[in-house]
Structures are given as C-alpha cells and as structure tokens.
C-alpha cells in the first residue's frame, strides 16, 4: 500500500501560509501544519491557524512556543514599540522580527526529519511584502544548503526540500490561486495588531498589502475590521 508523502507546512494563520497549505494538499502531500507562538502581540493569528488547519484538512497541527519577544527589537513582540501605519518602501521596517524565519524553518526542519518528511513549505513572498530580509530567494537558497549540510537526511543524500511557492507572486496572484483551491480567507488573520476577535486595524502595513491584493484580484475582501474600519474602510 502506497502512502502519500509527508510535508511540514509553516502555518502562521495568515493569507500566504493558508495558501501554501492548500497548495501542498493539492500536490498530494499529507500535511503537517506547524505554528509558532513566538511572543507576537497579534496572538489572534494562532487561533486563525487552528481554524485554517482544520478547514484545509491538515493531518496534524502543532503549536510550538519560542519566546523571541524576550530579545526585543521588533514592534511585533514589544508592546512598547508602536506598529507603524505608513511604512516607506526602501528600508527594513520595525515590524521585522530578528531571525524569525530562520528559527521557524529550523523547527520545521527538525519535525520533518522526525517525521521522515522530505518537504517543507513556507509562505514567504518577495513581491508584495514588507521588505524583510528573510523573505528573499537568497535566504531560501541558503537555508536549503543548511538543510543539506546540517541534517542526517542531508548527509544521506535526501535533504528536505524547502518550498517557497509564493515567493515570486503578487498578493493578487496568491489570492486568486488560493480561491481556486478553496481557501476561505475569512478564516485568516494578517493584521499586525488584530484584536482578540481577529478583527483587523486596517492601518498597518499588513492590512494595506492584504486590502490592495483583494482589490487587484477583484475579489471581495472577507477581512473583519474593527467597528471604525467597517464603517470607513
């Protein structure tokens, strides 16, 4: 009896990672979703990840805790740093979390080895994104080399493949692809300062990118905003 190949999918609860999970499922993988509570202020995305994992048929969903917030250096983990609402292109914003994707991919790599999974999916994007250095193709290529060098599977000639299928897509293209795969984006949370109910602020960089993506895709935005934003989006 043939069993489907296993894949670990990093699932934040946002739009991009939900699309990645749907893509992995569509490609025939048995999906193991991994979410990380890293001390982020917008904890509603963790609840969203659980809903997305269930809706998209993940075989298993795990939540791991790693307190990156203890190091500071990011508005996403330090409540003393304001979330910017008008980020200017060209610089790395204060919402960048030092080493976040490196840490998350490392944990995904560990779980993949334990599972015997040969594939890892991450929803990084280098087109419509906030300018984070760990969302670039160069980073993914470097981590792929790390996976080859630093794992038993890699030494044996079968390193887990790091997939970043959204890296060259616009936000609109990602949304269109996800809709075709049956993703319910109303379950996802992208906002950097979503409230406890998962409602978005409508002002932060993540909200701007998400809203613009739905507009460009000509698809109704299912995002739930705070009462003020629902009246004046």
- Give per-residue pLDDT as tens, 174-189: 999 999 999 999 999 9
Q: Reply yes or no on whether the pLDDT at 209 is more than 70.
A: yes
Question: CB-based burial of residue 223 (10 Å sphere; 0-12 exposed, 13-18 middle, 19+ buried)?
Answer: buried
pLDDT surpassing 50 at residue 66: yes
Average pLDDT score over residue span 103-132: 93
Q: Rounded CA gap, 175 and 16, in Å? A: 8
From residue 180, alpha-carbon distances to 80, 174, 175 in Å are 40, 10, 9
- Assess whether pLDDT exceeds 50 at residue 202: yes
* DSSP state, residue 200: B
pLDDT tier for residue 86 given thresholds of 50, 70 and 90: low
pTM of the predicted model as reported, rounded to 2 decimal places: 0.94
The closest alpha carbon to 121, from 233, 230, 4, 12, belongs to 12
Could you give the 3-state DSSP secondary structure of residue 225? Answer: strand
What is the rounded CA–CA span in Å between residue 199 and residue 215?
19
148 pLDDT above the threshold of 50? yes
Nearest to 140 by CA among 92, 101, 96, 97: 101
User: Is residue 92's pLDDT more than 90?
Assistant: no
pLDDT value at position 136?
A: 94
The residue-averaged pLDDT of 114-131 equals: 91
Q: Name which residue leads in pLDDT, 205 or 104.
A: 104
Identify the CA nearest to 145 among candidates 154, 153, 137, 136: 154
pLDDT at 230 over 50: no
pLDDT value at 205 more than 70: yes
């Amino acid at each position: 009896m043939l069993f489907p190949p296993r894949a670990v999918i990093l699932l934040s609860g946002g739009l991009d990672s939900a699309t990645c999970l749907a893509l992995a499922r569509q490609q025939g993988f048995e999906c193991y979703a991994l979410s990380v509570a890293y001390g982020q202020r917008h904890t509603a995305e963790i609840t969203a990840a659980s809903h997305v994992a269930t809706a998209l048929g993940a075989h298993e969903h795990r939540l791991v805790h790693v307190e990156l917030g203890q190091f500071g250096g990011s508005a996403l983990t330090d409540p003393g740093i304001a979330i910017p609402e008008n980020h200017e292109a060209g610089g790395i914003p204060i919402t960048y979390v030092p080493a976040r994707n490196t840490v998350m991919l490392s944990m995904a790599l560990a779980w993949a080895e334990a599972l015997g999974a040969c594939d890892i999916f991450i929803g990084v994007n280098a087109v419509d994104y906030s300018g984070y250095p760990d969302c670039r193709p160069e980073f993914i290529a470097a981590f792929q080399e790390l996976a080859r060098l630093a794992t038993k599977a890699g030494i044996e000639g079968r390193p887990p493949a790091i997939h970043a299928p959204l890296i060259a897509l616009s936000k609109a293209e990602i949304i269109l692809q996800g809709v075709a795969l049956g993703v319910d984006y109303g379950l996802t949370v992208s906002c950097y300062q979503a409230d406890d109910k998962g409602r978005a602020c409508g002002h932060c960089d993540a909200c701007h990118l998400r809203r613009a993506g739905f507009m460009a895709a000509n698809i109704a935005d299912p995002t739930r905003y705070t009462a003020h934003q629902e009246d004046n989006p």
